[in-house]
Structure 1
Amino acid sequence: MNEMFLEKFRALVPKYLEDPWKPEDGISEKELEEALEEHAFTVPQVLREFYLALGNSELMEAYHYFWDPEELEIDDEGFLMFLEDEDEQFTWGFRAGDLRVPDPIVYRKNNARGEWVSEDGTFSEFTFDMFEWVFSEDDEEDEEG
């Protein structure tokens, strides 16, 4: 499988954590396969490469919490959930029917209402935008403090 996103995800470590990317920041291919083998679904290429690049990094818990590969699950509405906010008000996922798409559209669920709505962007777009927002917010707080 050709890597489409791996290097872009690895580049997030020096950009936001100010350290060079190291193999320990990611999950090895073997570890990832073992973590995913019990699931009855496939994981999109972009999410696989995200875990390979960042699965053990601090970015997994930078404001929002990415689920570990073994924690992934499909809910009753048919969405593979992979991320939630720190207050557990929102969950993000993909439509189960889109799991073979290399970089599927992300949906957000309001946990109180149980409604899924499109984020109008793919996982890669959503993730890069989210980290930009999270870390620019941190920079603004540092400047104010």
Structure 2
Amino acid sequence: MAEMLLEKYKGLVAKHLDDRWTPQEGYTAEELADQLAAADLPAGTSLPLALEEFYRAVGRCEELMEAHCFFFDPDELIVEDGHLLFLEDEEEQFAWGVPVEALDVPDPLVRRRANSTGAWHDEDATVGEFILDLLDFSFEEE
């Protein structure tokens, strides 16, 4: 499958960290597959392309992975409430995920769960849009 957002994600290092992207920022396809195999995911669970490319580009870059909210490491990804969860805020009040029935969509819509009530709400953004917007927000100058 053709790359969709990989280069944009790599560009986050220069944009937000004023540094040059290196391969050490992310996972190789093989490393990512090994990490996913170690996760407690139902058999056959795969990542949407937009999320896979995010981990391949910057999945090891702590400054981005823990900028405002915390992206789960690939081996920590879980399925709960019919969603693949990939992000949580620092107070653990909210979690973000993708409905499991949309995991085969290259860039599916993101949903947010209020952990106190379990209620899900649409974010009205795809995975790629959401990640790029979140990191832009996280690194805005005050």
Shared fold, TM over 0.5: yes
Counterpart of 2:70?
65
What does 1:1-145 correspond to in 2, within 5 Å?
Answer: 1-38=1-38, 39=41, 40=43, 41-57=45-61, 58-75=63-80, 77-136=81-140, 139-140=141-142
Unmatched 5+ residue regions in structure 2? none
What TM-score do the two structures reach when normalised by structure 2?
0.94
More moved, 39-48 vs 112-121: 39-48
Task: Give the number of the structure with larger relative contact order, counting CA–CA contacts within 8 Å between residues 6 or more apart.
Answer: 2
Deviations 1:78-120 (CA, angstroms, capped at 9, x unpaired): 0100000011000000000000000000000000111110000
CA-atom RMSD, angstroms?
A: 0.9
Query: Which one has a bigger Cα radius of gyration?
Result: 1
Distance 1:130 1:117 in 2: 17
Residue 54 of structure 1 and its aligned partner are, at CA, apart by 0.5
Structure 1 runs of 4+ off > 3 angstroms?
none
What TM-score do the two structures reach when normalised by structure 1?
0.92
Residue 36 of structure 1 and its aligned partner are, at CA, apart by 1.3
Tell me how many residue pairs correspond in the alignment.
137
Unmatched 5+ residue regions in structure 1? 141-145
Distance 2:66 2:110 in 1: 18
What percentage of residue pairs aligned between the two structures are identical? Answer: 47
